[in-house]
Structure 1
Amino acid sequence: MKVKIAVAGGVTGGHLYPALSVLEFLSEKVDTEVLYFTVKGKLEEKVLSESKYRTYSLNVQGLIRPIYSFKNIPRVLKIFNNKKRVLKKLKEFNPDIVFVTGGYVSYPVGLSAYKLNIPLYIHEQNVIPGLSNLKLSKFAEKIFVSFESSIDYFPEDVKEKIIVSGNPVRIKTKGELKFETPTILIVGGSGGSEFLNELACKLANKMKNYNFILSSGGKKVKCKEKNLKVFPYIDNMYDYYRSISCAITRGGATTIYELLYFEVPSIVIPWEGSTESHQIENAKQIVKSKLGYMIKEKEVNLNDLVSKIEILVQRERKILNKKNPAKIIVEEILKEVKK
């Protein structure tokens, strides 16, 4: 059996990596032919340039908040101008299904799928669904969400199509890691966080008996502490999440779900500039699950943070074998495709 699939979802790792995880599991089940719609100059263009997938680049931009800002007029026009290109490309490729994971690139792709009568499947990573996924939900065959609380945000007439799958976890490993000293991983998301980079320097200086690993997002780190190891980006997070003592992160949906999936004791400092305060709502899931703490950036106190780290590193880590949400999504999609 062969499945032709068109995919959209990117700009950040939070949209891109769940899509890639689904594609990887799908290719284990059936032969696949993939067309991935990317945004010009963004993360997915770089990552997918090294993949076997065919790509098609679009020159679009996300909407500024508030939505009614006059600055959005040229951005909306760009999205509509690209709709014709998407429609033409999708018609040429003629996929069996279209799968989108949100972000502004998803809207023209999902809408074109509907117009061409191609089955559309959506995955939402955040607790509060993004605008594209909400708009596309009425056209979708199935809507996959990471958190049960997301269901409340969707229109009543689409709720029967929602499946709480969880957020796909990408299993990319370079081998087991073993740390002799308590080790704290600090992650600011795929784009990095200057605030967390500075915080990593302060913590490493204050807590000399602990090791710190920082994923800086390529942003400058202004210190050189012996107990702080800096990487611009970590692509094998699977290995680190299974080995560290605890983590300090932002509140991106993919990061939060990975912390939950691997049951990592965590301190989440959400970026409060995220769309519709997504990160704050995501971070609350860590508190709800009793895995750790949420601290607002303006309320961060170094001594309080040290105390919380000392509590979390004492917790015994248990690595459980769980079903990857990507498998759940693939199984559901294949049920529909085989009908």
Structure 2
Amino acid sequence: MMSSSTSKMHHLDLQLQTTLMATTTFSHLTQASLCFFPPYNFVPSLLNSLLHYNRRSLQLSCSSLSSNDNDHNLRVVFAGGGTGSNVYPAVAIAEELKTSNPACEFLFVGSPNSIESTAVTSAGYNFAPVLSLCFSPVSSITLFQLCSSPCRFVKSLIQCSRHLRDFKPHIVVGTGGYVSFPVCLAAKINNIMVVIHEPNSAPGFVNSVLALFAHKIFVAFNSTVDSFPRNKCVVCGNPVRLSLRNPVSKAAARSHFFPGYGESSDSEKDKVLLVLGGSLGANAVNIAMLNLYHQMLRQNNGLYLIWQTGVETYDEMDSLVKNHPRLYLTPFMHCMDLAYAAADLIVSRAGAMTCYEILATGKPSILIPSPHLSEGNQFRNASLLADLAGVTVITEEDLDSCTLAIAIEGIFRDKKKMEEMSERALKAANPKASAEIAKHIFSLVRQSIKSGEIAKE
């Protein structure tokens, strides 16, 4: 009869063989593409060397399995970036895990000088930069493109493996974006459990690939299940930040943006329009608002405007927009909880997290999906919210100041419609999404430790 240690070693070796087979297939695909790139012909052998190195490391670590583990020091690596939709869910999950167990340790892995590096460090978590795969978020990615940059990919994979060996996580959570691919692949090579979260109504390229070896796939919407192996899927919604789940009062939020708010006006009749141009900026939305904002403020004394232009377009907008006591102009919104709490109506792009935060806060909205982002995710997100919550969708092709003005005025004038949109939005959201994901993560790690799939420490 095999000893407990031998049994665990045998179990781990079987899993590793499966991982090696999957990664060898990837290596063969890489090698096929390299016929067009002769200088990079060394890459497949380098990948194989990395695989065998990790196998030896795993075999050595198996001999040191300990029986005195408890799950109080859970270590989690989060991998995701490129857009807020891939970053803020990870932060929300970490917040929930920390609330449930303050002893948890986290490491976020992403691209340097990126939205994830800024957001993660601002939230107070440790961040490890790795080499980006350098694919644009506004164009589609193919396997050929991925394999045509082999040196960069292999270097990123090695960096990820080093971070994982140093941190020794129990589980890796991929939240989307190209940077999550090498992190999750390195985790699989190192026999570390992988789960992924898909915030969009339809998955992108990276999560579609990672789904092949992920233990669990957390999805936001029922319709997304059809795009993944059904037996792995858990429909739980998108995790929203803790601050959004504990909103401040509308009056307090408005006073933050407009000091002295309510002192000289009838606040019961006031309306606040929140315009979100995205973290970088949406030119079409900004231009439509530029031709509209002054007339709207002049005609309606009870209208207030909070306008996030985006970082890259702020200087231009700031030079063109006239100061007004009922206008708050900013390049980036650092206090989204206050912005949502203050708003009566939102005009926004249709990024995954923005859409779900609109649902979670129960705000009527007008969505203008970007036609430039990869794989048409924003249009699908906006269409789904139109079905779920009755939001108004304006395509960029149809967008101008007149169309936008008619849509805004039509919603503001129909109080019953605003109440209905708010009720439907709240009904469609799951405010406990982060708690459900955290519960699954704890459960998966405990089961894996108990069965010997991961080492006890």
Q: Confirm or deny a common fold (TM above 0.5).
A: yes
Tell me how far 1:332 sits from its aligned partner: 1.3
Alignment check: 8 A CA contact 1:205 1:225 kept: no
Deviation at 1:69, TM superposition (A): 9.7
8 Å contact from structure 1 (residues 201, 228) kept in 2: no
Mapped pair 1:11 → 2:82: yes
What secondary structure sits across from 1:135 in the alignment? helix
Q: For structure 2, list consecutive stretches of 5 or more residues without a partner in the other structure.
A: 1-71, 255-266, 448-457
Tell me the equivalent position of 2:22. Answer: none
Give 1:2's aligned amino acid. Answer: N
Moved more, 286-295 or 108-117: 286-295
How far 1:290 sits from its partner (Å)? 3.6
Higher strand share: 1
- Separation in 2 of the partners of 1:108 and 1:296? 35
Whether the 8 Å contact between 1:61 and 1:79 is mirrored in structure 2 is: yes
Counterpart residue number, 2:402? 303
Count of aligned residue pairs for this structure pair = 336
Correspondence for 2:231 among 139, 156, 160: 160
**What does 1:171-320 align with in structure 2 at a 5 Å threshold?**
171-172=242-243, 175-178=248-251, 180=267, 181-208=270-297, 209=300, 210-218=303-311, 219-220=313-314, 221=317, 222-226=320-324, 227-313=326-412, 314=415, 315-316=418-419
Cα separation, partners in 2 of 1:43 and 1:197, compared to 1, 3 Å = same
Q: Greater shift after overlay, 20-29 or 209-218?
A: 209-218
**CA distance in 2: counterparts of 1:16 and 1:245, whole angstroms:** 26
**Deviation, structure 1 residue 72:** 5.9
Q: Which has the higher helix share?
A: 2
> TM-score w.r.t. structure 2 length?
0.69
Residues 88-99 of structure 1 aligned to structure 2 (within 5 Å): 88-99=162-173
Q: Which moved more, 1:32-41 or 1:309-318?
A: 309-318
Secondary structure of the residue that 2:280 maps to in structure 1? coil
Cα distance change on mapping 1:296 and 1:225 into 2, 3 Å: farther
Structure 1 residues 239, 52: closer, same or farther in 2, change over 3 A? closer
Alpha-carbon distance between aligned partners in 2 of 1:69 and 1:114, rounded to the nearest angstrom: 19
CA shift for structure 1 position 329: 0.6
2:105 aligns with one of 7, 10, 33: 33
The 8 Å contact of residues 62 and 103 in structure 1, kept in 2 or not, is answered as: no
Q: Quick one: distance in 1 between partners of 2:213 and 2:143? A: 27
Instruction: Assess if the C-alpha contact under 8 Å between 2:352 and 2:378 holds in 1.
Output: yes
Mean Cα deviation higher: 66-75 or 240-249: 66-75
- Where 1:271 maps in the other structure, the secondary structure is coil
Question: Is this contact kept in 1: 2:171–2:194, CA < 8 A?
Answer: yes
Q: Distance in 2 between matches of 1:283 and 1:305?
A: 16
Q: Kindly tell me: are residues 302 and 216 of structure 1, through their superposed partners in 2, closer, same or farther at Cα, counting changes over 3 Å?
A: closer
Root-mean-square deviation over aligned CA pairs: 2.3
Residue ranges of structure 1 left out of the alignment (5+ in a row): none
Distance in 2, Cα, partners of 1:142 & 1:66: 25
Paired AA for residue 198 in structure 1: I
Is the contact made by 1:6 and 1:99 (CA closer than 8 Å) also made in structure 2? yes
Which among 445, 451, 456 is matched to residue 337 of structure 1?
445
SS at match of 1:289: helix
Greater Cα offset, 75-84 or 17-26 = 75-84
Give the Å deviation of 1:85. 1.6
Change (3 A) 1:237 1:324: farther
**Which string of whole-angstrom CA distances, capped at 9 and with x for unpartnered residues, describes residues 138-168 of structure 1?**
21111001111112222xxx22110111111
Look up the equivalent residue of 1:207 and give its one-letter code: M
Which residue does the alignment assign to 2:241?
A: 170
The offset of 1:120, in angstroms, is: 0.8
Residue by residue over 1:9-67, the C-alpha shift from the partner in whole angstroms, topping out at 9 and shown as x without a partner, is: 11221111110000011001111111111201111222333444222111213435454
Pair 1:130 & 2:204 matched: yes
The amino acid across from 2:112 in the alignment is: K
Larger Rg: 2
The residue type paired with residue 215 of structure 1 is Q
Q: Compute the displacement of 1:111 (Å).
A: 0.8
Over 3 Å counting, the alpha-carbon distance change for 1:68 and 1:320 in structure 2 is: closer
